[in-house]
Amino acid sequence: MTRALLLRNWATWLFFFGAAIAALVSAYYIPGIMRTFGPAYPNSVISDLPAFTAAFLSVKNLIAPAMYLIVACGIVGAVLTLAFASSRESQMHSLSLVTLLMYHLVVMAWVAFVLAYLWLPRIKAGI
């Protein structure tokens, strides 16, 4: 293997484990931030919550299990990729796709949290 291929393989695995760690950290910090604001936070800013905020609050206890599910599915995807890929090249390409999907889901969880929990109630209240 050339140095470029070794570097790409190493970087792909580094990004994969980085995505898993990002999901686990998010599983800890998103509920932690919600606990910091207190149980009455969105209702203390405005009583008539936006629909997206109300929907987010109805599933807020599922954030941590969803992050754990992302990590578990990523690990299963990596194992299946390593087991059934036809070549080393296809293994790395498939692992890259699994990694990108994991990062995308974690980023979308943070975007939904920031929009639904932090910004929309304040925007609707005029703060």
pLDDT of the residue at 94 = 93
pLDDT of the residue at 88 = 87
Burial classification of residue 39, based on how many CB atoms lie within 10 Å of its CB (0-12 exposed, 13-18 middle, 19 or more buried): exposed
102 Cα distance to chain centroid: 7
For tokens 């070794």, what's the residue?
6
CA distances from 72 to 6, 76, 91 (A): 26, 6, 18
100-117 pLDDT per residue, tens:
999 999 999 999 999 999
**Which residue ranges in the chain fall short of pLDDT 70?**
1
- For residue 6 the two structure tokens come to 């070794």
Q: Tell how many helices (H) and how many strands (E) occur in the chain.
A: 6, 0
pLDDT of the residue at 1 = 64
108 Cα distance to chain centroid: 6
Task: Report the SS3 class of residue 102.
Answer: helix
